[in-house]
Homo-oligomer: A and B are copies of this chain.
Amino acid sequence: MSITLYHQPLSPFCRKIRIILGEKKLPFESVIEMPWRQREEFLALNHGGTVPVLIDQDGTIVSESAVIADYLDEVYPDNSVLLGGPAQRAEIRRIAQWYDLKFDAEVTKLVLFEKIDKRLMKLGEPDMQTIRAGIANLPYHMDYLNYLCEQRHWLAGEVFSLADIAVAAHLSSIDYIGDVPWVHFPQAKEWYARVKSRPSFRPILADFVPGMPPPRIYADLDF
């Protein structure tokens, strides 16, 4: 039995797991799941009804992206995304969590829900005020990212890690809509170009929502 991943292409939380699987060179069966449809078979896997959900080769079912990330690194330790001593691992987790909770609440959720999910869910027109509020919160977070990139080669230190993966997952989802002001944040842009060129990132750059093509720069390594 191979690994199965239930996911939604533009969800940063699902992208995080797809990139980890790519880094570890673990092939997986991809099941596109729109969580708002609340399919009974899917709810049986995860009562919470959220994506991603991973079913491992031995049948173990794991939900919640932060939990899946730790699980995968424990079961498949090759090409670890949590490499280092306890302090280093804490720094990796701190940055990943900052984006998964704070950046998500202040930017991703506002922009992505209005521009993408609402359309897929047929909930009517996007609310421009909510989108503008999300976009307005971006520079503060980009400043911090730029600052980290000035200090370090990768976000949590010298090694590519879950921190880079989580941050790139969120920014790539916003980038699909074309709203990341890369030009004002050169160090962050240089970091993102390096992330984009990793083989694990290729499937992300190939994502395509029918009727909503990404801007040209989305998949471009020279953006």
Q: Does A1 belong to the interface (CB within 8 Å)?
A: no
- In the bound complex, residues from chain B placing their C-beta under 8 Å from that of A74 are 86, 89
Minimal beta-carbon separation of A64 from chain B (angstroms) = 6
Q: Are B64 and A87 touching (Cβ within 8 A)? A: no
A58-75 Cβ-contact flags toward B at 8 Å (1 or 0): 001011101110110011
Q: Does A98 belong to the interface (CB within 8 Å)?
A: yes
Q: A63 touches which one: B63, B75, B94 (CB < 8 A)?
A: B94
Chain copies in the assembled complex = 2
Minimal beta-carbon separation of A6 from chain B (angstroms) = 15
Q: Are B71 and A87 touching (Cβ within 8 A)? A: yes
Q: Does A8 belong to the interface (CB within 8 Å)?
A: no
Cross-chain pairs A/B with CB under 8 angstroms, 5 sampled: A64-B97, A67-B90, A70-B89, A74-B86, A101-B101
Known contacts A60-B87, A75-B86, A87-B60, A70 near B48 by CB under 8 Å: no
